A and B are shown apart, each in its own frame.
Chain A
Amino acid sequence: MPAEGPAEARPHSEHSASITLLGPQRQPRVDTVLESLGLHGARAAVINAGWREREPEDELLVELAGGNVVNLRLWHRMQEVWEADPEFAAADQQRRMLLEEMQDLYVVALDHVVDALRTMRDRVPRSKQIQQIALGDAERIMQEIDERHLRRVNEIHADFWSRWPPHERRPVQLLRQLIRRDLADTEVVLIPGGHVGVLVGALHLFNIAPQLRVPIVAWGAGAMALTDRVVLFHDRAAHGPSVSELFSQGLGLVRGTVALPAARERLALGNPVRMGVLARRLAPARCLLLDDKVRVDILPGADLPDDAPVLGEDGSLTTMGAVR
Chain B
Amino acid sequence: MSISLPSQPVRGVHPGKLAINRFREQDHLDEAAVDAFLHERQVPIVEGPRCTFLYRGEADEVHLLHRIVNQPQRVPLRRIEGTRLWYVTIELPYGSRVEYQLELRRGDHTVQGNDPLNPQVAHSPVGSSSVCQAYGYETPEWTQVDPDARPGELLDLTLHSKALRRETHNRLYLPARFRTSSTYPLLIVHDGDDYLNYSAMKTVLDNLIHNLDMAETIVVFSNPGDRMREYPNYAPHARHLVAELVPHLEENYPVLRRPEGRALMGASFGAVASMSTAYRNPAMFGSLLLQSGSFVFTDIGDDHGGGPAFDPVVKFMNRYRAKPRKVADRLFVSCGVYEPLIVPNRSMVPVWESTGSTVRYVEARDGHSWENWRDRLRDGLSWIYPGPQKFVYE
Measuring CB to CB, which residues of chain A are less than 8 angstroms from any residue of chain B? Answer: 24-26, 50, 53, 193-198, 220-221, 223-224, 232-234, 237-240, 242, 245, 261-262
The reply to whether A221 and B392 contact each other, CB–CB distance below 8 Å, is yes
Q: Give the size of the chain B interface in residues (CB under 8 angstroms).
A: 20
Which of A24, A232, A234 contacts B394 (CB under 8 A)? Answer: A24
The reply to whether A262 and B389 contact each other, CB–CB distance below 8 Å, is no
Instruction: Find chain A residues with CB under 8 A from B213 CB.
Output: 237-238
A221 and B212 alpha carbons, distance in the complex (Å): 15
Q: Please tell me if B259 contacts chain A, counting CB pairs below 8 Å.
A: no
List the 9 closest pairs (A to B, CB-CB), nearest first: A238-B382, A238-B213, A239-B383, A220-B393, A261-B393, A221-B393, A193-B394, A239-B382, A232-B390
Instruction: Find chain B residues with CB under 8 A from A198 CB.
Output: 391
Q: Please tell me if B306 contacts chain A, counting CB pairs below 8 Å.
A: no
The reply to whether B379 and A195 contact each other, CB–CB distance below 8 Å, is no
A24 and B394 alpha carbons, distance in the complex (Å): 6
Which of A53, A197, A238 contacts B389 (CB under 8 A)? Answer: A238
A220 and B391 alpha carbons, distance in the complex (Å): 10
Q: Which residue of A lies closest to B394 (CB)?
A: A193
Q: Which of B360, B382, B390, B394 has the most CB of A within 10 A?
A: B394
A53 and B393 alpha carbons, distance in the complex (Å): 16
- A53-B177, A240-B3 given; A234·B390 CB < 8 A: yes
Q: Please tell me if B386 contacts chain A, counting CB pairs below 8 Å.
A: yes
Q: Please tell me if B46 contacts chain A, counting CB pairs below 8 Å.
A: no
The reply to whether A238 and B394 contact each other, CB–CB distance below 8 Å, is no
Q: How far is the CB of B177 from chain A (nearest CB, A)?
A: 7
Q: How far is the CB of B260 from chain A (nearest CB, A)?
A: 8
Instruction: Find chain B residues with CB under 8 A from A234 CB.
Output: 389-390
9 A-B pairs besides A193-B392, A193-B394, A239-B382 with CB distance below 8 A are A194-B392, A198-B391, A223-B393, A237-B386, A237-B389, A238-B382, A242-B390, A245-B390, A261-B393
Instruction: Find chain B residues with CB under 8 A from A232 CB.
Output: 390-391
Q: Which residue of B lies closest to A220 (CB)?
A: B393
Which of A50, A194, A233 contacts B390 (CB under 8 A)? Answer: A233
Which of A25, A196, A239, A245 contacts B392 (CB under 8 A)? Answer: A196
27 contacts between A and B (CB under 8 A): A24-B394, A26-B394, A193-B393, A193-B394, A194-B392, A194-B394, A195-B388, A195-B391, A196-B391, A221-B391, A232-B391, A234-B389, A234-B390, A237-B213, A238-B211, A238-B213, A238-B214, A238-B382, A238-B389, A239-B360, A239-B382, A239-B383, A242-B390, A245-B390, A261-B393, A261-B394, A262-B393
The reply to whether A237 and B391 contact each other, CB–CB distance below 8 Å, is no
The reply to whether A239 and B379 contact each other, CB–CB distance below 8 Å, is yes
Q: Please tell me if B378 contacts chain A, counting CB pairs below 8 Å.
A: yes
The reply to whether B394 and A197 contact each other, CB–CB distance below 8 Å, is no
A214 and B208 alpha carbons, distance in the complex (Å): 40
Q: How far is the CB of A149 from chain B (nearest CB, A)?
A: 15
Q: Which residue of A lies closest to B213 (CB)?
A: A238
Instruction: Find chain B residues with CB under 8 A from A197 CB.
Output: 391
A261 and B391 alpha carbons, distance in the complex (Å): 12
Instruction: Find chain B residues with CB under 8 A from A224 CB.
Output: 393
Q: How far is the CB of A276 from chain B (nearest CB, A)?
A: 21
1/0 per residue, CB under 8 A from A, across B369-394: the answer is 00000000011001100111111111
Q: Which residue of B lies closest to A26 (CB)?
A: B394
The reply to whether A239 and B386 contact each other, CB–CB distance below 8 Å, is yes
A25 and B394 alpha carbons, distance in the complex (Å): 7
The reply to whether B177 and A238 contact each other, CB–CB distance below 8 Å, is no
Instruction: Find chain A residues with CB under 8 A from B390 CB.
Output: 232-234, 237, 242, 245
Q: Which residue of B lies closest to A224 (CB)?
A: B393
Instruction: Find chain B residues with CB under 8 A from A26 CB.
Output: 394
Which B1-30 residues sit within 8 Å CB-CB of chain A?
3
The reply to whether B382 and A262 contact each other, CB–CB distance below 8 Å, is no
Q: Which residue of A lies closest to B211 (CB)?
A: A238
Instruction: Find chain A residues with CB under 8 A from B211 CB.
Output: 238
The reply to whether A238 and B379 contact each other, CB–CB distance below 8 Å, is yes
